[in-house]
Structure 1
Amino acid sequence: MDATPNAANRSTATSVRRDLAAAYRLIAHFGLDDSIYTHISARAGTGHDRFLINPYGYRFEEVTADNLVTVDLNGELIDDPLDTGINKAGFTIHSAVHAARPDLACVLHTHSVAGVAVSCQQEGILPLNQWALQFHGRVAYHDYEGIALDHGERERLVADLGEYSIMVLRNHGMLVCGRTIGEAFRRMFNLERTCRAQLALQSSGATSCLPSEPICEHTAQQYERWDSEHDVAGRDREWEAWRRLAGRLPTAAVN
């Protein structure tokens, strides 16, 4: 008789914490972290007024399900297990998206070398290969305004994001969102490979071979249908595979 609403909510909250901690470990494992900076956030519980984010001053490999910070959309710390606070720029970006897009559960922001390099290119993400085509016509762009400490930028950021889930922060890095943590991680993993492949081709000096516009859009739609055509009972099999990897990764000790 433990399948009560309260028990179900606790189970969901625990699952979100574990998934978010796994995403942090995976981002660190693939070298997409940036010292103690950048962030991944996820909605906390069933409400839309608070989210989980990393404790400021800790590397991604040190993030665990238990030390995540809970903050509301006004910046009030609801639960801060390590008494560290949070990155103020991270709050600006993540609170903006969580407040404006209740359809999204996770926001992931990186400063990888490849992502930053592509964010500095006027053309942005190019439709060069299959990885890139999942983002075709589905990427927003936000002009650089300096370190994101001005809460006034939130309005402009969400206006630029619109209904998209992927955004290039020009001269800054990449931002992806997902309906689940797994979806956000998958998108960032593929976006990073897209950026690396683009830079590799550009540095090679070779002539690019671009697919036609109809093929670009056809492929993007195939990506959008992939989960529904391959999985059952709401399972995200790719995220299950990534979680198995995360479970084998060491978690740094936190004093």
Structure 2
Amino acid sequence: MLDLGNRVSIYQPEQEGLIFPELPEFASVEDERRHRKERLVASCRAFAQAGFDYGFAGHLTVRDPEHPDLYWTNPMCVHFAKVKMSNLILVDHDGKVIEGNYAVNRAGFVLHANVHDEHPDIISMCHAHTVYGTAWCATGRPIEPITQDACAFFEDHVIIGDEAGAVAVENHAGSNVAKAFKGVKAALHQNHGLLTASRHSIESAAFWFMALERCCQQQLDIAASGIQPTYIPADRARYSREHVGSDYIGWLHFQTIWNQLVEDQPDMFD
């Protein structure tokens, strides 16, 4: 084990005085709420950049810091690229819109509300109908330790076979998903698609969703090549997951995306 001293991650610089992302601190709950909403919008914009849009499908949520039984989410039938601070909606666990003018996505409410309700420690969750994730989920197979990227999910994701392929509009379907998220950050819903959750931040949930989609693409590319991959041994996969697969690392990766979006898409804050 590496001695990190007071650092959370080996990637934090030991040398003082260098520019490096710092975890936020908040003077008030209002500041924390605005922070979470801004990052939720940025996560939606990042999904748009990655091509994760598919009609009205796809929903991202983050729990309200003052009212943990409520969560902020993207509005129904608004493209990820057009989500902004002013059109976010606040929803309760019964699917009632508490704040905002738009309707909530029914499937999003079923999946996310159940996860948030079942796991009070989960702050945020992401789901979208992506090309590679949906395709790999059809195989019913896990992400294998074939790359360093994949090791971030080693023993940290599950396959959900219940309700495989059925549209998640009934509450019991969301309950099945919620039960699967005990102690993991990602799930492959068979014949449906990818889901990620974070006990840290919306940034972490969003980045690990993007990373999981990339892993699914790698899996499919290798399978299509017909070449048998070399698997990373379990002990090395766990070591890599420890250093490159944490919630903090997901948050840290997203800071690069955040900085780019702030500069290029200031309308996020409208």
TM interval, short-chain normalised:
0.7 to 0.9
1:202 to 180, 200, 223: 223
Q: How does 1:233-248 map to 2 (within 5 A)?
A: 236-248=251-263
Q: For structure 1, which runs of at least 5 residues remain unmatched after alignment?
A: 1-5, 229-234
1:55 to 66, 72, 75: 75
Q: What letter is aligned with 2:95?
A: G
2:61–2:71 CA contact under 8 A, matched in 1: yes
2:64–2:71 CA contact under 8 A, matched in 1: yes
- In structure 1, the partner of 2:13 is none
Return the offset for 1:245: 1.5
Give me the TM-score of the superposition, normalised by structure 1: 0.87
Q: Deviations over 1:40-96 (max 9, x none)?
A: 00012322110011111111111101110101111121012xx33111011000101
1:166–1:177 CA contact under 8 A, matched in 2: yes
The reply to whether residue 11 of structure 1 matches residue 26 of structure 2 is no
The reply to whether residue 184 of structure 1 matches residue 205 of structure 2 is yes
The reply to whether residue 127 of structure 1 matches residue 145 of structure 2 is yes
Superposed CA RMSD: 2.2
Q: What letter is aligned with 2:236?
A: I
2:110–2:170 CA contact under 8 A, matched in 1: yes
Q: For structure 2, which runs of at least 5 residues remain unmatched after alignment?
A: 1-25
- In structure 2, the partner of 1:66 is 86
Q: How does 1:1-255 map to 2 (within 5 A)?
A: 8-80=28-100, 83-145=101-163, 146-178=166-198, 179-224=200-245, 227=248, 236-250=251-265
Supply the distance in 1 between the matched residues of 2:84 and 2:134 (Cα, whole angstroms). Answer: 27
Supply the distance in 1 between the matched residues of 2:59 and 2:38 (Cα, whole angstroms). Answer: 16
Supply the distance in 2 between the matched residues of 1:202 and 1:54 (Cα, whole angstroms). Answer: 35
Return the offset for 1:250: 4.1
Supply the distance in 2 between the matched residues of 1:100 and 1:138 (Cα, whole angstroms). Answer: 18
Give the 3-state SS of the residue equivalent to 1:152 in structure 2.
Answer: helix
**Residues 53 and 225 from structure 1, CA distance in 2 versus in 1: closer, same or farther, beyond 3 angstroms?**
closer
2:142–2:158 CA contact under 8 A, matched in 1: no
Q: What letter is aligned with 1:50?
A: L
Give the 3-state SS of the residue equivalent to 1:75 in structure 2.
Answer: coil
Return the offset for 1:236: 4.8
2:111–2:175 CA contact under 8 A, matched in 1: no
**Residues 243 and 226 from structure 1, CA distance in 2 versus in 1: closer, same or farther, beyond 3 angstroms?**
closer
**Residues 161 and 85 from structure 1, CA distance in 2 versus in 1: closer, same or farther, beyond 3 angstroms?**
same
Q: What letter is aligned with 1:211?
A: I
Q: What letter is aligned with 1:123?
A: R
